[in-house]
A and B are shown apart, each in its own frame.
Chain A
Amino acid sequence: MRSQAMFFQRRAGEALADPRLQKNFAGLKDKFVGMRARAVANYENDFEELRDAGQAIRDRVIDNLDVWLELFEEKATARGATVLWARDGSEICEHVIAIAQRHGVTKVTKSKSMLSEEAQLNAALAAAGIQPVETDLGEYILQIADNEPPSHIIAPAAHKNLDEVADLFAATHQQPRKTEIPALTREAREVLREHFLSADMGISGGNFLIAETGSVVLVTNEGNGRMVTTLPKVHVVITGIEKIVPTLADFATLMRLLPRSATGQEISNYVSVCTGTKGEADADGPEHTYFVLVDNGRAGLVGSEFQAMLRCIRCGACMNHCPVYQTVGGHAYGWVYPGPMGAVLTSLYTGIENALDLPHASTLCNQCGVVCPVKIPLPELLRKLRERQTERGLRPWSERLALSVWSRLAQRPALYALATKLGVRYLNWLASGRDRIAVLGVAPGWTAGRDFPAPQGRTFKELYSSRQEQKA
């Protein structure tokens, strides 16, 4: 997906002006936040201890990522899968198209894969004459809505309401318009069932790769992950190189964190651990299994000050709890991943200079850091990105000038005291006796939609020294 992250401010403004979108995202917040809180409270042990364990598992992998990748590759290959590697999105597309052509595939069913969004795989498949069919209900809705991008990593169509989905289905399926969510869901089930039964290849992402067994794990509620890994004769897994966990026991631990953090469930309906290919006598399963292990920026984070980001298990909790995401929605972030994790990943994977607003699209309130199941210090990473922007001279001249003036003043107490004293006098003059200022001369934008409070009395320094004098 081509990044639109440079347009954050404009897109956020549009989202704020759209009452329908505001309503759709308010619902998302209410449901996900409450359900997670309940699931964490109901966990029959110390959830913090679980988060520590989750962090430790992910750190152990990333600290020795090369070794774990090799061990995974050995085991997966020994079980009959083919392991391929892709530096970037275009190599993903090349691999997948070559696999499809080798097996004479004309239609693929897809379970959710964010990497296929990174690679714009659907467009590449279509251009090669291969029909991609998204099967996660949310992704399917977006595909028939002329390939809209997802606005949430686990609820991709969160920005669409029932009416919009009903219109889309009626137009696409040529059936009478339905208005009940269960009826719409059944209609999608019936349309997609035909595709499941007729596609020759399934493409999925992977929630985890297990080095011990050479397996991929898919976590879904709809059952589409099971379909694409059971019915077609070819299964292609596309995952980032960071998705490895060492052992089945580690995977079991992470499964106590992921559904609780994502949807507030203790377990998702389907957790499929897929290993190798169909055995000779097996009743079902793919004859050919491929793993495409993708870098696309991940290797560059290893060993860097941003390495902690590679722990991410894509639960979505950080965006569900983010006041900025809740207000502007997912599309404003402009690339594949929204919310706090998206602000970090988009900056790092598409270039700090291509996402200037994103590290600032945060109040640093640390809600995200508190809920992240693998304890990624998201506000700290956002702050570091701001520092990198400043070091590279990527901030606007006015901001840099203001900060350098402030830093000079702050180093000279006498000058600082004088400047604040003058400032207070100026603001009091603007307020001309009232307690608020309607138009701030130096920053009219700030007062466009609100008043600026007038200073009440003297500066802090003046008050402090008079107190000291009284004491003496």
Chain B
Amino acid sequence: MSSRDDILSRVRANLGVAAGDEARRAAARAVLETPAIGPRPSLPDDLAARFRMKAEAMASTVDRVATPAEVPAAVARYLAERGLPARAACWPALAGLDWAAAGIDVAARAANGDDPVGITGCFCAIAETGTLLLASGPQTAATTSLLPETHIAVVPVSRIVPAMEEGFALLRAEQGFDLPRAVNFVSGPSRTGDIEQTIVIGAHGPYRVHLILVGDA
């Protein structure tokens, strides 16, 4: 007997059920068709304020501008304040902004190990926990938010949803039922507590996550 059949038949024997029971499969499929939403924390109405508060609690820094055209200057300001190099890889969708005018050298490609800064958008953002939802794809490299020491993300205020549940619903509404290869929920810079349970910011992922909210206050 294959390992698969052996394991499944022992599970069935212990449950006291037979193989090929259509009624049990149908019951499981019904769960998938109408997924029940579980208990959730109550959130305030102002999702942008909640997002900002929780993002800062996870050690992200947050800025806010009114229009996308103001993003390059905000990025330049952030990099200059911290003495970081004005050189970045960015998602292609952001390549059209006037980076040169802000004095930033931006390449529209996936980040590699040598890029000091990665600039991304986000699929949407989660107010409950101050989290970015990044969906991988041809135009949205996962490495750009992962390999550089500094990750800057542009977050349209209109894309802030209450919780993971709404994030998944939005993904399905816009990209179809199947999930993209990777859905990464990112909440602040990487960290570790593995030496003496002392939290250190900057483990394998970025040391800094800077969020630029875009939209009217």
A residues near B, CB below 8 A?
Answer: 24, 27-28, 31-32, 43-46, 49-50, 53, 57, 60, 63-71, 79, 85-87, 91, 135-138, 141, 155-158, 160-162, 165, 181-182, 184-186, 189, 192-193, 196-197, 211-213, 215, 221-224, 226-227, 229-231, 241, 246-253, 255-256, 263, 266-279, 281-285, 293, 295, 299-300, 302-304
| 9 tightest A-B CB contacts, nearest first | A223-B205, A253-B38, A222-B203, A283-B141, A303-B14, A138-B194, A44-B41, A281-B138, A247-B35
Report yes or no: A230 in contact with B142, Cβ–Cβ below 8 A: yes
Measured CB to CB, the closest approach of chain B to A97, in angstroms, equals 15
CB-contact partner of B195 in A157, A226, A227, A229, under 8 A: A157
Instruction: Check: B4 CB closer than 8 A to any chain A CB.
Output: yes
Query: Interface on chain B toward A: helix, strand, loop, or mixed SS?
Result: loop
Q: Which of B24, B43, B54, B130 has the most CB of A within 10 A?
A: B24
CB-contact partner of A223 in B28, B137, B141, B146, under 8 A: B146
Report yes or no: A49 in contact with B196, Cβ–Cβ below 8 A: no
In B189-217, which residues have CB < 8 Å from any A CB?
A: 189-198, 200, 202-206
What 8 new A-B contacts, CB under 8 Å, besides A246-B32, A304-B14?
A66-B17, A85-B2, A162-B196, A223-B190, A227-B146, A272-B182, A273-B182, A299-B7
In the bound complex, what is the Cα–Cα distance between A32 and B197 (angstroms)? 8
In the bound complex, what is the Cα–Cα distance between A67 and B11 (angstroms)? 10
Measured CB to CB, the closest approach of chain B to A307, in angstroms, equals 9
Instruction: Check: B163 CB closer than 8 A to any chain A CB.
Output: yes
Report yes or no: B138 in contact with A137, Cβ–Cβ below 8 A: no
Report yes or no: B136 in contact with A283, Cβ–Cβ below 8 A: yes
A283-B140 contact given A53-B39, A66-B12, A222-B203, CB 8 Å threshold: yes
A213-B39 contact given A137-B203, A223-B204, A226-B142, CB 8 Å threshold: no
Note all chain B residues with C-beta closer than 8 A to A197.
113
Measured CB to CB, the closest approach of chain B to A95, in angstroms, equals 9
Instruction: Check: B150 CB closer than 8 A to any chain A CB.
Output: no
Residue of B nearest to A281 (CB): B138
B residues near A, CB below 8 A?
Answer: 2-4, 6-8, 10-12, 14-17, 19, 21, 24-25, 27-29, 31-32, 35-43, 54, 57-58, 110, 113, 129-131, 136-143, 146, 163-165, 168, 178-198, 200, 202-206
Report yes or no: B192 in contact with A137, Cβ–Cβ below 8 A: yes
A27-B39 contact given A279-B181, A282-B181, CB 8 Å threshold: no
Report yes or no: B196 in contact with A226, Cβ–Cβ below 8 A: no
Measured CB to CB, the closest approach of chain B to A269, in angstroms, equals 5
A285-B197 contact given A87-B6, A267-B58, A267-B187, CB 8 Å threshold: no
A283-B41 contact given A91-B3, A222-B190, CB 8 Å threshold: no
A136-B194 contact given A266-B129, A270-B186, CB 8 Å threshold: yes
CB-contact partner of B143 in A79, A284, A302, under 8 A: A284
Measured CB to CB, the closest approach of chain B to A160, in angstroms, equals 8
Measured CB to CB, the closest approach of chain A to B110, in angstroms, equals 5
A155-B42 contact given A221-B203, A246-B31, CB 8 Å threshold: no
Report yes or no: B40 in contact with A45, Cβ–Cβ below 8 A: yes
Note all chain B residues with C-beta closer than 8 A to A253.
38-39
In the bound complex, what is the Cα–Cα distance between A392 and B193 (angstroms)? 43
Residue of A nearest to B26 (CB): A67
In the bound complex, what is the Cα–Cα distance between A192 and B131 (angstroms)? 26
CB-contact partner of A31 in B2, B190, B197, under 8 A: B197
Report yes or no: B15 in contact with A302, Cβ–Cβ below 8 A: yes
Report yes or no: B196 in contact with A66, Cβ–Cβ below 8 A: no
Instruction: Provide 18 A-B residue pairs closer than 8 Å at the C-beta atoms, listed in order of the A residue.
Output: A49-B39, A50-B38, A65-B11, A67-B24, A85-B7, A86-B3, A91-B3, A138-B192, A155-B197, A156-B194, A224-B204, A241-B7, A249-B35, A256-B41, A269-B58, A271-B185, A275-B183, A277-B181
In the bound complex, what is the Cα–Cα distance between A98 and B199 (angstroms)? 38
Report yes or no: B136 in contact with A221, Cβ–Cβ below 8 A: no
In the bound complex, what is the Cα–Cα distance between A161 and B189 (angstroms)? 24
Note all chain A residues with C-beta closer than 8 A to B196.
24, 27, 161-162, 181
Note all chain B residues with C-beta closer than 8 A to A160.
195
Report yes or no: A165 in contact with B195, Cβ–Cβ below 8 A: yes
A252-B7 contact given A50-B38, A60-B31, A283-B110, CB 8 Å threshold: no
Note all chain B residues with C-beta closer than 8 A to A45.
39-42
In the bound complex, what is the Cα–Cα distance between A91 and B3 (angstroms)? 9
In the bound complex, what is the Cα–Cα distance between A295 and B6 (angstroms)? 10
Q: Which of A57, A161, A189 has the most CB of B within 10 A?
A: A189
Measured CB to CB, the closest approach of chain B to A14, in angstroms, equals 21
Measured CB to CB, the closest approach of chain B to A98, in angstroms, equals 13
Note all chain A residues with C-beta closer than 8 A to B140.
283
Report yes or no: A211 in contact with B197, Cβ–Cβ below 8 A: no
Q: Which of B29, B163, B179, B195 has the most CB of A within 10 A?
A: B195
Note all chain B residues with C-beta closer than 8 A to A60.
31
Report yes or no: A273 in contact with B35, Cβ–Cβ below 8 A: no
Report yes or no: B28 in contact with A269, Cβ–Cβ below 8 A: no
Measured CB to CB, the closest approach of chain A to B162, in angstroms, equals 11
Note all chain A residues with C-beta closer than 8 A to B203.
137, 185, 189, 221-224
Report yes or no: B32 in contact with A252, Cβ–Cβ below 8 A: no
Note all chain A residues with C-beta closer than 8 A to B113.
193, 197
A279-B138 contact given A31-B197, A64-B24, A64-B28, CB 8 Å threshold: yes
